[in-house]
Chain A
Amino acid sequence: MDQDLVVRTQQGDQRAFETLTASNHPRLFRVAHGILGDPHLAEDATQQAFLDIWRNIPRLRDPAKFEGWSYRLLVNACYAEAKRKPDWTHYDGLPAGREPMAGETYTSVVERDRLERAFAKLSLDHRSVIVLRYLLDMTPEEVAETLDIPRRTVYSRLKRAMPAMRAALEADARPISGAASSKEVIG
């Protein structure tokens, strides 16, 4: 299905591309949000990625490679978006009024907040690799091909990202059941 749309898009069919965009938007947005953490930036990056896809798709030789190829353009768009808006990495914590959802406890919400903060301190390189590896469950080889980097670089980034994450978590450590935390959650 997608391959047919890809081929038609390669031939300049705008209607086919609109369908391709609608069907691929959720997966690309999810990754962009994973990397950037902000829904507005993620949407901007995703839209930019689709425009890049439209521009460059005639030169994609193998339609079967569309999915991985589109992730690469998306990550590039995320880099560009982050560069354009450098303040995006600043994570202000949970939004005011954020209430635990069904099944959540204040503890789990605060724990996620800590992970969010720690993740936001990672470099974009590290975040991209982690998102592809652990959100999409790509193998390191697939991450390397998608990001167009050597496999050893993927391993190296994964190896460095986790200690960085741990360090950020430990630096951010605080009593998760304390009154201060609960207040912070309740906002």
Chain B
Amino acid sequence: MKDEKYTPEVGSWLKGREVPHPDSQQTARQVAARLPHISQRSRWRPLPSFRRLPTTDQTTAHQPSPIPASNGHTPTIIGRTTSMLSPVKAITAGAIVFALGSAFLIAQPFGQQTSVPGAEAEAIAPTWVTGTVQPALSCSDGTSKVEIDVIRSRNFECGPQTWTSSDPRLTGEVTRRWSEDTYRMDDGSGSKTVSLDAAYLRNEGGGWACSAIDLLDGGSVRSGIALTGSARTCIGDGGYEGLSAILASEYGPGYSEEFSGLIFSGEFPPEPEPPAAE
């Protein structure tokens, strides 16, 4: 190649190029003097994302069974096909039950509640929860496939991470996996990454599958800048079946997090119906 002879020449020229040496301390002082006028971006802006991870039962559990018509045809299901439970109703119901002061309701510590598998599924009162996620001990790269103007990376994994929260149901060892698609923008604005993050928590009482979707300015979750904060939505499994949680996270270094949110019985509100066509 004719151009190859220029490569070492350019390399040595670049390295031998005269570079002035501005006073780094002075630059640091000048930059520092401007900091009071520049606010840091918040680490995380909660933005609800009501995406649910599919669970084994989800696809069938909420589908009403078709009732055979007398003429033998299977009727078409019209209207709601999912549970009518919602957080608002759960809160209202919880408040009413609590107000009755029934002798059947005796406040119990969480430790006792979680010691009974399945008891949480019957709990009605929502629980506000706060917690932290310890930095990941190790992370491994996933697989990447380069296509035209998009890099599809799959199954990055970090873990185990320990979640410690005010509620033992959301305390335990967690494995996080995420996949991401990085799009090269034609308008010269760099690249943007869409990431789907999944966290799987297990403890003695059951498990949770949590998911969050993020948009990042940059090439990957590891080095990109989050443009959107996202809420992690969690679906209970095993002993926590029937429970849901929504957690707003602030991400910190090393994939650590601080989160706060709500554990409640039932599902997330259904999608609103689209406006009627005129």
Which residues of chain A have C-beta atoms less than 8 A from B223's C-beta?
A: 60-62, 65, 68-69, 72, 145, 148
Question: Quick check: A39 and B251 within 8 Å, CB to CB?
Answer: no
Question: Quick check: A60 and B13 within 8 Å, CB to CB?
Answer: no
Q: Which of A26-34, A84-92, A176-184 contacts B (4 or more CB under 8 A)?
A: A26-34
**Is A187 in the interface zone, CB < 8 Å from B?**
no
Q: Could you say which of A7, A23, A165 contacts B253, with CB atoms under 8 Å apart?
A: A7
State the CA gap A15–B92 with chains docked (Å): 50
**Is B106 in the interface zone, CB < 8 Å from A?**
no
Q: Could you say which of A47, A115, A151 contacts B10, with CB atoms under 8 Å apart?
A: A115
State the CA gap A75–B118 with chains docked (Å): 55
State the CA gap A165–B14 with chains docked (Å): 13
Chain B residue with Cβ nearest A39: B20
Question: Quick check: B190 and A21 within 8 Å, CB to CB?
Answer: no
Which residues of chain B have C-beta atoms less than 8 A from A135's C-beta?
A: 11, 14-15
State the CA gap A165–B19 with chains docked (Å): 21
**Is B271 in the interface zone, CB < 8 Å from A?**
no
If A135-B14, A169-B6 touch, does A59 touch B41 (CB 8 Å cutoff)? yes
CB-defined interface of A13-42 with B at 8 Å, one 1/0 digit per residue? 010011101110110011001100001000
If A17-B35, A47-B30, A148-B219 touch, does A55 touch B41 (CB 8 Å cutoff)? yes
Question: Quick check: A39 and B190 within 8 Å, CB to CB?
Answer: no
CB-defined interface of B56-78 with A at 8 Å, one 1/0 digit per residue? 00000000000000000000000
Taking the closest CB of chain A, its distance from the CB of B230, in whole angstroms, is: 13
Question: Quick check: B251 and A61 within 8 Å, CB to CB?
Answer: yes
Count contacts on B: residues with CB < 8 A to the other chain. Answer: 52
Question: Quick check: B28 and A21 within 8 Å, CB to CB?
Answer: yes
Q: Could you say which of A22, A33, A76, A169 contacts B19, with CB atoms under 8 Å apart?
A: A33
Question: Quick check: A151 and B146 within 8 Å, CB to CB?
Answer: yes
Question: Quick check: A130 and B14 within 8 Å, CB to CB?
Answer: yes
**Is A82 in the interface zone, CB < 8 Å from B?**
no
Which residues of chain A have C-beta atoms less than 8 A from B22's C-beta?
A: 25, 29, 39, 43
Which residues of chain A have C-beta atoms less than 8 A from B220's C-beta?
A: 145
State the CA gap A26–B28 with chains docked (Å): 11
Question: Quick check: B41 and A61 within 8 Å, CB to CB?
Answer: no
Interface size class of A (residues with CB under 8 A): 35 or more
Taking the closest CB of chain A, its distance from the CB of B8, in whole angstroms, is: 9
Q: Which of B1-49 contact A (CB under 8 A)?
A: 2-4, 6-7, 9-11, 13-17, 19-22, 24-25, 27-32, 34-35, 38-43
Which residues of chain B have C-beta atoms less than 8 A from A21's C-beta?
A: 24, 27-28, 31-32
State the CA gap A162–B2 with chains docked (Å): 10
Chain B residue with Cβ nearest A14: B35
If A17-B35, A55-B40 touch, does A165 touch B6 (CB 8 Å cutoff)? yes
Question: Quick check: B40 and A58 within 8 Å, CB to CB?
Answer: yes
Which residues of chain A have C-beta atoms less than 8 A from B25's C-beta?
A: 22
Chain B residue with Cβ nearest A131: B14
Q: Could you say which of A14, A26, A69 contacts B24, with CB atoms under 8 Å apart?
A: A26
Taking the closest CB of chain B, its distance from the CB of A17, in whole angstroms, is: 7
Which residues of chain A have C-beta atoms less than 8 A from B184's C-beta?
A: 149-150, 153
Question: Quick check: A72 and B218 within 8 Å, CB to CB?
Answer: yes
If A26-B21, A58-B43, A150-B184 touch, does A63 touch B253 (CB 8 Å cutoff)? yes
**Is B122 in the interface zone, CB < 8 Å from A?**
no
Q: Could you say which of B10, B30, B190, B254 contacts A134, with CB atoms under 8 Å apart?
A: B10
**Is A105 in the interface zone, CB < 8 Å from B?**
no
Question: Quick check: A112 and B13 within 8 Å, CB to CB?
Answer: yes
* 10 A-B contact pairs sorted by A residue (CB < 8 Å): A26-B24, A30-B19, A39-B19, A39-B22, A50-B31, A51-B38, A131-B14, A134-B10, A149-B190, A150-B184
List B residues at the A interface (Cβ < 8 Å): 2-4, 6-7, 9-11, 13-17, 19-22, 24-25, 27-32, 34-35, 38-43, 146, 149, 151, 184, 190-191, 218-223, 225-226, 251-255
List A residues at the B interface (Cβ < 8 Å): 6-7, 10, 12, 14, 17-19, 21-23, 25-26, 29-30, 33-34, 39, 43, 46-47, 50-51, 54-63, 65, 68-69, 72, 76, 112, 115, 119, 130-131, 134-135, 144-145, 148-153, 162-163, 165-166, 169
Contacts A47-B30, A59-B226 known; list 6 others, CB within 8 Å.
Answer: A17-B32, A39-B20, A130-B14, A145-B223, A148-B219, A165-B10
